[in-house]
Every structure is written in C-alpha cells, then in structure tokens.
C-alpha cells in the first residue's frame, strides 16, 4: 500500500503547478474581497489536482472496487460542479442541484444509505422509505460543512486530513478493506496540496476541492459506519465536529438575525478567532487542534458503554457551547451558559 500512497502524494505535488497554470489561463482565480483574508489574486482549482492524483492512485492500487462506480460517478458530478463554479461562479441553487444529483447517484444507484440504527434502551429503528432522503441530507450537509470552513489558507485541507485519518483508523479497527485504503489515499493527495496551500497559499482548493472532499468524507463515513448503533452513527459527526458545529451555529446566527441561511458573513469560527487577535497561522493551527480533540473524542466515544457515551456527549456539548459563547460565534450578546456560570461564581464570592 505504501507505493500507492507515495504515488498519490507524488502525483499531487507534480500536478499542483500544472493546475495552477491552467487555473490562471481559464480565469479560475480568487481576487481579494471584503470577506477574504488573502491580499493578492490567487488561482483556485487546487481540488482538481487532489481529485486526479487520488483517482490515478486509486485505480492502480490493488483495491476491490466492486460497487464503487456509482460513488465515482457522483464524485465526477461534484468535481464538475466545483470546476464550473470556480471558473464562472454558479448560483447557490445550481451548486445545490449538482450536490443533489451526486447524492441521488450514490444512494439510489449505489445503495449507500443509512437503513437502520440500534438506539440504546429502545432497540432497532428502521428508516425504511426515509433511508434515502436521510442519506441525501447527510451527504449534502457534510459537503456544505467542509465548503463553509474553507475560509483560510490550509484550513479545509488540514481539517479534512484529520477527519479522513480518523475515518481510516476506525476502518482499520473494523477491518474494512475498502474505506481504510481509500481514505489513506485521499489523505496523501490532500497532503500534497497542503504543501502549496498552507499560509501563505499559492493556490486554493476552490469549490472543486471542498465539495469533493466533503462528498468523499460523507460517503466514506456512511460506508464505514452504516447500519450500526446510534452511538456509532454519531462518530462521524464528532469527527467532523469543527465544520459541523461551525455550519450549525452559522444557521442559528443567520436565523437569529433574520438573514437568508445561504447568505455570507464574517462570523465563522476562523473569523471570530482572528477578531480575538490570533494571526492566520495561529487560527489555522488552533482549529487543527480542535479537530484533533474531536477526533480523539470520537475514538473514545466509539469504545465507550452506552452510559459512558451519553455522559461524554453531554460534556462535549457543554464544552462546545462554552467555546461558542466565548468567541461570539452566534453573536457577542449570546452568552446564556457563561452568564449562569458568572452568577454562580458571584454567589460563591
């Protein structure tokens, strides 16, 4: 397997300069704007190099690819959507259509769905006809979670590497001969890209990369943790704790301000950390640390008892809420838990 990992990484390193020139030639560039942190025009389409290097290594590696065609066709649809968006900037509705088509491809044709879960203290809960729509919602949610966190150099790539490495590690523990090698090859391809994307970046992954990585993370988590317990179903959500919580609180924030959910703002987790005085590199490394903590929590969560998992989940939710209130992710006036803690502290004094 090592030779194919090296191949994926090596191809990625060789392809990035080629893709960078191609992006400049077709006008797939990102000019500095009010919400952006970069100061110069930067080529996008870096995700195309990730996709190509991964694809070549994947199809050459001795991996059982039975049943993977629908997944790969879905990936092609996602990558095509991202490439077009990076060049001409599609509307959110058109991008969503591309995501839905890819999700339909993999769920209906590929039968990659969540069919049932075993709920603690209840028993088996069958989704029946709802398995496909729930799986589609899952795929689209993860795609957009990764897409939304792609706001700083190296951020989405690093968080994706941590998530994919965790998925690969759990798949190895479960002796999954497909999910583990696929996730590892993806990690190698993203690592190659990160060399050129870590601050200061000379190329961005663009929607081509963020949509593709979100899609693959969603699919691999479905394939690796499907038809299992409610506890196991939460594992991929915990692994993706940073982008998922950032997306969730972005929705809460926009609903609170009576703004459209699809509207953009400068209140994502990386914006708030930089507003507190952290540099771009410090912010990226801090979010990497958060992602690592979520991944470690996911490992502990997956081997805990039902009661242990519930307690761990509650502690994690409380910690996330404290961080959200402290950095002002929902709004600077949103501090319900911190206000309660302050009152308790004053009474003790």
Work out the end-to-end distance of the chain between its first and last CA atoms, rounded to an integer number of angstroms.
61
Query: 25 to each of 22, 45, 51, 87, how far by Cα in Å?
Result: 5, 12, 20, 10
Do the Cβ atoms of 222 and 142 come closer than 8 Å? Answer: no
Sequence-distant (≥ 6) Cβ neighbours of residue 148 within 8 angstroms: 243, 246, 247, 250, 268
Do the Cβ atoms of 274 and 280 come closer than 8 Å? Answer: yes
Q: Confirm whether residue 144 is marked as ligand binding.
A: no
Q: Shortest CA distance to 217 belongs to which of 280, 298, 275, 284? A: 298
Q: Confirm whether residue 207 is marked as ligand binding.
A: yes
Do the Cβ atoms of 266 and 195 come closer than 8 Å? Answer: no
Q: Shortest CA distance to 281 belongs to which of 192, 161, 201, 187? A: 201
What are residue 117's phi and psi, to 5 degrees?
Answer: -135, 155
Interatomic CA distance for residues 200 and 42, integer angstroms? 11
Bind-site residues = 147, 207
Binding-site entries for Mg(2+): 147, 207
């Amino acid at each position: 397997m090592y030779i194919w990992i090296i191949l994926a990484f090596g191809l990625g390193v060789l392809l990035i300069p080629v893709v960078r020139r191609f992006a400049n030639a077709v006008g797939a560039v990102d000019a500095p704007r009010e919400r952006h942190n970069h100061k110069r025009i930067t080529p996008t389409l870096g995700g195309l190099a990730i996709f190509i290097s991964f694809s070549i290594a994947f199809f050459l590696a001795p991996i059982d690819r039975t049943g993977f065609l629908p997944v790969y066709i879905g990936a092609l649809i996602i990558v095509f959507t991202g490439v077009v968006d990076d060049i001409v900037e599609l509307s959110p509705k058109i991008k969503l259509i591309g995501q839905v088509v890819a999700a339909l491809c993999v769920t209906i044709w590929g039968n990659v769905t969540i069919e049932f879960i075993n709920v603690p203290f209840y028993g088996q809960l069958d989704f029946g006809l709802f398995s496909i729509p729930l799986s589609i919602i899952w795929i689209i949610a993860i795609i957009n979670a990764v897409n939304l966190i792609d706001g700083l150099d190296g951020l989405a790539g690093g968080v994706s590497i941590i998530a994919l490495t965790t998925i690969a590690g759990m798949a190895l523990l479960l002796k999954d001969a497909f999910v583990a090698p696929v996730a590892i090859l993806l990690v190698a391809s993203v690592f190659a890209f990160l060399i050129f994307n870590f601050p200061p970046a000379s190329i961005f992954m663009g929607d081509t990369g963020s949509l593709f990585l979100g899609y693959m993370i969603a699919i691999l988590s479905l394939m690796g943790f499907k038809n299992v317990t409610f506890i196991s179903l939460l594992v991929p959500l915990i692994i993706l704790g940073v982008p998922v919580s950032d997306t969730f609180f972005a929705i809460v924030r926009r609903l609170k301000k009576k703004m459209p959910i699809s509207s953009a703002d400068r209140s994502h987790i990386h914006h708030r950390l930089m507003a507190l005085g952290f540099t771009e590199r410090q912010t990226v490394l801090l979010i990497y640390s958060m992602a690592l903590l979520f991944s470690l929590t996911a490992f502990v969560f997956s081997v805990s008892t039902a009661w242990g998992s519930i307690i761990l989940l509650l502690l994690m939710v409380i910690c996330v809420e404290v961080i959200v209130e402290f950095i002002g992710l929902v709004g600077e006036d949103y501090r319900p838990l911190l206000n309660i803690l302050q009152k308790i502290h004053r009474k003790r004094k």
